Amino acid sequence: MRNIISLIQSNKDVERINRLFSENKDIYINNTNEDNALLVLLALYYKNQESIFVVTPNLYKAQLLYDKLSRVLDKNEISFYPQDEFLTNELLVSSIEFRLERINTIVKSLEKTKRIIITNLYGLLKPQLPYEKWKNSEIKIETNSIYDIDELKNVLIEYGYKKEYTVEKMGDFSIRGGIIDIFPVNSKQPYRLDFFGDEVEIIKSFDIDTQRSIDVVERFSIYPIIEFFYNESELTKLKLIIDEKRKSINFSKDAIDAIKDDIEKLDSREELDRLNRYLPFLTDKHYKITDIVKNSKLFFLDYHRSLEQHEILIEEIKEWY
């Protein structure tokens, strides 16, 4: 494959495209098929240092494209950032699998290593917390380090982890005396922290089925397992903003009751996928995944259909509200 890419890179037309691409110029490639477009994409990717977002008009196309490119790219060179396309789904409930894929992409992007990221139009436009919020969310767990167990528990709850009797799936944690079990997002296995007082004495991975320890590890990181996470001061700010908007707009009684129910859910950090629509209230502008992946480029596959899909999205929002 690399030999084919090298041959394509030496083509004069592709060289011109690459020059314009590196100068951040808008490029429109017409009268070509998808396979040729993807070969140009790969030629640009291997020639440049930036990550490239490949944007498709719909989720189905994004899934097919991700599967196709995954067969020719290393797993560290490609990520998936999918988003449900039904507005009611976005406002009511979002696919857990898709959320974990998005968070996986975000966490990998914090490493600042270039990659190709496949997304659909709804994924590209999805509101996100800013880069700094995600970057500062990392909790580094290391042996011989000091942690306040109660404080760690509270942060885990803020990050969307659920306290259970035993850890059975990603996103669970449990506390039994001086032992904390947790299955972090972006991890293939859960970890067991054995505390002596407030010091982590030893960390081991363990098997979910048998609950038996496997290997000793020196360190691992914990990131949020939800995209809408906030601390207590941010929650207070959020409730004030919601209350101000409630008072300034003539809502129906049913709408006011729904808002009150939402506030209760925000307090208890329940149904945060559904309540993700309140996320922009905590940010100073509309942040997207492209604001998290620094110095990235956009590669639209079927640009005109994406524009049509954007118009459909605008109409759906108008009808919903």
Q: Tens digit of pLDDT for each residue in 290-321?
A: 999 988 999 999 888 888 888 888 877 666 55
The answer on 107 and 91 residing in a single domain is yes
What would the two tokens of residue 1 be?
Answer: 């494959």
Q: Using alpha carbons only, how large is the chain's radius of gyration in Å?
A: 22
Q: Given this model, what pLDDT does residue 90 score?
A: 47
**Residue of 198, 196, 157, 197 whose CA lies nearest to 174:** 157
Q: Is 157 exposed, middle or buried (0-12, 13-18, 19+ CB in 10 A)?
A: middle
| pLDDT tens per residue across span 149-163 | 999 999 999 999 999
Q: Is residue 192 part of a domain?
A: yes
Is the domain of 29 the same as that of 66? Answer: yes
Strands (E), 208-255: 213-217, 219-222
pLDDT average, residue stretch 248-276 = 91
Is residue 31 packed enough to be buried (19+ CB in 10 Å), middle (13-18) or exposed (0-12)?
Answer: exposed
Query: Does residue 122 share a domain with residue 43?
Result: yes
Whether residues 214 and 237 fall in one domain: no
Q: What is the pTM of this model?
A: 0.89
Mean pLDDT value of segment 205-219: 94
Residues 202 and 144 in one domain: yes
Residues 22, 127, single domain; the answer is yes
Same domain, 27 and 124: yes
18 and 110 in a single domain? The answer is yes
CA angle at 91 for the pair 290 and 139, rounded to the nearest 5°: 50
Q: What is the pLDDT of residue 319?
A: 64
Range of 237's domain?
232-271
Mean pLDDT calculated for residue range 271-295: 91
Domain annotation covers residue 277: no
278: in domain: no
In a domain, 73, yes or no: yes
Q: Measure the CA–CA gap between 98 and 96, rounded to whole angstroms.
A: 5
213-217: strand order across its sheet: 162-163, 172-176, 179-182, 191-196, 199-206, 213-217
Residue 67, domain member (yes or no):
yes
Residue 280 lies in a domain: no
Q: What would the DSSP string read from start to end of 280-314? A: GGGSSS---HHHHSTT-EEEESSHHHHHHHHHHHH
Residues 315 and 265 in one domain: no
pLDDT at 34: 87
- 6 with 26, same domain: the answer is yes
Distance CA 73, CA 166 (A): 37
Q: Is 76 helix (H, G, I), strand (E, B) or coil?
A: coil
Q: What is the CATH number of the domain that holds 80?
A: 3.40.50.300
What integer pLDDT is reported at residue 140 of this predicted model? Answer: 97
Distance CA 280, CA 282 (A): 5
Average pLDDT, the chain: 90
Query: What pLDDT score was predicted for residue 6?
Result: 77
Tokens representing 81 are 């950032």
Residue 279 lies in a domain: no
- Do residues 119 and 13 both lie within one domain? yes
- Overall domain count for the chain: 3
Q: What are the two backbone dihedrals, phi and then psi, of residue 307, each rounded to the nearest 5 degrees? A: -65, -40
CB-based contact 223:183 (threshold 8 Å): no
Is 88 part of a structural domain of the chain? yes
Does residue 27 sit in the same domain as residue 122? yes
